[in-house]
Amino acid sequence: MIRREARKFIRRLADNHYQPLNRIELNTQHLLHNVRLIQKLNPGHSIIPVVKANAYGHGLLQIAEMLNRADCSFLAVDGYFEAAQIRDITRHRVLVMGYIRPANARLLDTKRCSFVVQDIAGLRALGVLKRPVRVHLELNTGMYRLGLTPNELTEYLSTLKSYPNLQLEGVMTHLADADNGGSNTFTTKQVKLFDQTVGHILAQGFKPAFFHIAQTAGSTKVHSRYANAVRLGIGLYGINPLQPSDEHFKDLVGLQPVLGLKSTIIKVYDLKKGDRVSYNGIFTAPHSMRIGILPLGYYEGLPRALSNKGCVTGGKKQLPIVGRICMNHTIIDLKDTQLWVGDEVVVIDDDILQPNSLQSASRMSGNFSYEWLANLSSSLQRVIY
């Protein structure tokens, strides 16, 4: 027994000192700055950071830990499996927004978690638990993804009243068109319907503490009679979801990217003019040149669309990606640098002015920046700074 535990300890020690070839770096000060910026834009509103989908690829456990230094009402996740991972890490309550099978109700941690309940079956499953459960009601105001339509509301509220252990803690909706820089018409329509419906809910005697309608984009545009909380999604991570042409773009221009990605050169080749690189030979050396191989490809989350388009930076120089990006490898032009095996390069820069920032590279490749972040492999080491 003692020997077995000793071997485990040695393995853990070795793991802690293992130096990976790829590394995601997370900037705590940038994260906290983004929370404060949205708080300043929305005085009197509670902030609900959204950490679903592995915290938009940043790392669920790491971001939950970093947010312990932030003033938040909840951390919002999609599935209960995410809540279970962070409930002992975060000091905040967890809001589970995704659908939960009624059969799983008895397994839920109702002390640390609140739940967006979508249907009557879900309410009944929680109602028979005979322990307090905090519920958030989602309204469908035009997104048609989740939420109750007006004709479903009467039965829902009646069922809610029939179970004394169920507390209506919040009412929410989701804006479908808040990042539309040309028109706020649909957003205004959604807000109006939300306020009308909330008025009806209050008239039924319910007293929810939280009313949340806006995500990052909507936080700059929504004028609701009742809203007192913002679900901070992509803006939490320093990405402005609005286009420069949007009159509210400037409100979010101060967001600071939280994530940077670095990789390591593992092989160097000297090419002759005419040598072809990677799959299908889509790059041919136009002259003698040096290339470096990175142990990172589309499996790790680097979009294949950046083949022969994107760049990394090293030694303060832009190093073009050449040839097809592979599953686990990417080839870069080392140009006139002295970079060699073991040297690091920056794949995603947290400076939005750099050509390999997430925003710049997304525009170049045509990839949706949210999708790129969410696709960053969970196998990549994430380090908090």
Whether residue 13 is contained in a domain is answered as no
Across the range 196-211, mean pLDDT stands at 97
pLDDT of residue 285: 98
Residues 369 and 229 in one domain: no
Domains held by the chain: number: 2
The model's confidence at residue 364, banded by pLDDT at 50, 70 and 90, is confident
Residue 282 binned pLDDT confidence (cut-offs 50, 70, 90): very high
Instruction: With CA atoms as reference, report the closest residue to 194 among 227, 220, 167.
Output: 227
Determine the longest span between alpha carbons in the chain, in angstroms: 79
Whether 338 maps to a domain, the answer reads yes
- Single-letter amino acid, residue 79: G
Percent of the chain residues past pLDDT 90, beyond the cut: 91
Q: Are residues 202 and 228 in the same domain?
A: yes
Q: Which residues of 292-328 are buried (b: 16+ CB within 10 A; e: fewer)?
A: bbbbbbbebbbbebbbbebbbbbeeeebbbbbbbbee
Point out the domain boundary residue: 204, 223, 252. Answer: 252
Written as six digits, the tokens of 377 are: 């492999």
Is 289:323 a contact under the CB 8 Å cutoff? no
- Give the span between the Cα atoms of 265 and 9, in whole angstroms: 31
* Residue range of the domain that includes 333: 259-384
Question: For residue 53, is pLDDT > 90?
Answer: yes
Give the tokens for residue 292: 């470096």
Q: Are residues 115 and 233 in the same domain?
A: yes
- In angstroms, what CA-CA distances link 157 with 103, 114, 197? 21, 17, 12
Q: Is the pLDDT of residue 148 over 90?
A: yes
Q: Per the domain annotation, does 103 fall within a domain? A: yes
What integer is the mean pLDDT of 236-242? 96
Tokens of 168: 């209506």
β-strand pairing of 259-264 with 283-284 = unpaired
Per-residue pLDDT of 15-39, as tens digits, reads: 567 889 999 999 999 999 999 999 9
How many whole angstroms separate alpha carbon 219 and alpha carbon 231?
9
Q: Give the strand pairing for 317-320 and 330-333.
A: unpaired
Do 230 and 267 lie in one domain? The reply is no
Is the CA virtual torsion 359, 260, 214, 99 positive or negative? Answer: positive
According to the model, what pLDDT value does residue 355 have? 93
Please give the Cα distance from 115 to 379 (Å, whole number): 29
Q: Is residue 12 predicted with pLDDT exceeding 70?
A: no
Are 115 and 202 found together in one domain?
A: yes
pLDDT of 297: 98
> How large a percentage of the chain has pLDDT more than 70?
96
State the pLDDT at residue 4. Answer: 65
Helices and strands of the chain, counted as H and E runs: 10, 19
Q: How confident is the model at residue 1 (pLDDT cuts 50, 70, 90)?
A: low
Domain presence at residue 14: no
CATH number for position 315? 2.40.37.10
* 39 lies in the same domain as 183: yes
Q: Indicate whether 74 belongs to any domain.
A: yes
> Higher confidence at residue 204 or residue 3?
204
Q: In terms of domains, do 169 and 297 share one?
A: no
Let me know if residue 376 belongs to a domain. yes
Q: What is residue 130's predicted lDDT score, i.e. its pLDDT?
A: 85
241 and 316 share a domain? no
**H-helix segments, the chain:** 2-17, 28-41, 52-56, 60-66, 80-86, 120-127, 150-161, 185-203, 358-365, 369-374
Mean pLDDT over the full length of the chain: 94
Q: Confidence class of residue 85 from pLDDT cuts 50, 70 and 90? A: very high
Residue-level pLDDT at 232: 98
The residue assigned the tokens 């592979």 is: 326
Structure tokens at 357: 């920032």
- Helices 150-161 and 120-127 sit at what angle, rounded to 10 degrees? 10
What pLDDT is stored for residue 366 in this prediction? 85
Q: Kindly report the number of other CB atoms within 10 A of residue 253's CB atom.
A: 12
Average pLDDT over residues 107-119: 97
CATH value at residue 111: 3.20.20.10
Predicted pLDDT of residue 182: 86
For position 93, what pLDDT does the model report?
97
Same domain, 74 and 151: yes
Do 152 and 83 share a domain, yes or no? yes
Report yes or no: 331 and 323 within 8 Å, Cβ to Cβ. yes
Phi/psi of residue 219, nearest 5 degrees: -65, -20
Domain boundary among 252, 286, 311: 252
Residue 140 clears pLDDT 90, i.e. is over it: yes
Q: Is residue 265 part of a domain?
A: yes
Characterize the bridge pairing of strands 283-284 and 317-320.
unpaired
At which of 203, 228, 252 does a domain end? Answer: 252
Q: Is residue 19 part of a domain?
A: no
> Do residues 139 and 219 both lie within one domain?
yes
CB 53 within 8 A of CB 18: no
Report the candidate in 73, 107, 77 with the shortest Cα–Cα distance to residue 93: 73
pLDDT at 6 over 70: no
Question: Same structural domain for residues 236 and 330?
Answer: no
Q: Is the pLDDT of residue 11 over 90?
A: no
DSSP label of 307: T
Give the model's pLDDT for residue 9. Answer: 58
Report, in angstroms and rounded to the nearest whole number, the Rg of the chain calculated over CA atoms.
24
